[in-house]
A = this chain, B = another copy of it.
């Protein structure tokens, strides 16, 4: 999660509870203040921790917020609803619900903005948030293949490229609707979106994208 001196055997060990308190305080501050008015001094105070403790563990505001927000998405689960379309609709709705929470909106977009000028930060976001949830796409596909809704995918490279496209489309559309358009991601929208997505994918998007 954050860098730790790997083999420090002596000295007082780092407080185990401090991490959790700091991340929770960060989310709390994001809700109340938003990213731009969040200050590390305030987070430290809320967490009942000295500023030095915070800086000892995270390099700055961005890294802290990424970790605080990433935890939010761990509660995403692929529902087993019997059909691919229903599975997708379920997970998209979950995703939208989390993204509608103010700590997610404020924090995630801000660090994405910062990441446009900081490759290490983008990598951290990708690792902590995106790749960690890509499991949902993979699991959904394999489940659909078992059900016979999707053909087995022989080429792993193509499979990976298609999974990325799906992730860009799902996450992008939900984020854009929520944050830019400012419209709710309700069941009707999700159903329409899922229909377009599945119909579009049926018949080999990957084939075309690969030429």
Contact = CB atoms under 8 A, between A and B. Distances in A.
Contact of A191 (B112, B173, B174, B208): B208
A179 interface: yes
Contact of A109 (B34, B112, B196, B201): B112
Interface string A154-166: 0000000100110
Nearest to A162: B192
A124 to B, nearest CB: 12
Contacts of A196: 165, 169, 197, 200-201, 205
Contacts of A102: 116-117
For this chain, the copies found in one complex come to: 4
Interface stretch (A18-26, A139-147, A182-190): A182-190
B109 A113 contact: yes
Contacts of A209: 188-189, 191-193, 195
A64 B35 CA distance: 19
Contact of A176 (B110, B168, B192, B203): B168
Interface of A: 34-36, 102, 105-106, 109-110, 112-117, 119, 122, 125-126, 130, 161, 164-165, 167-169, 171-177, 179-183, 188-189, 191-193, 195-203, 205-206, 208-211
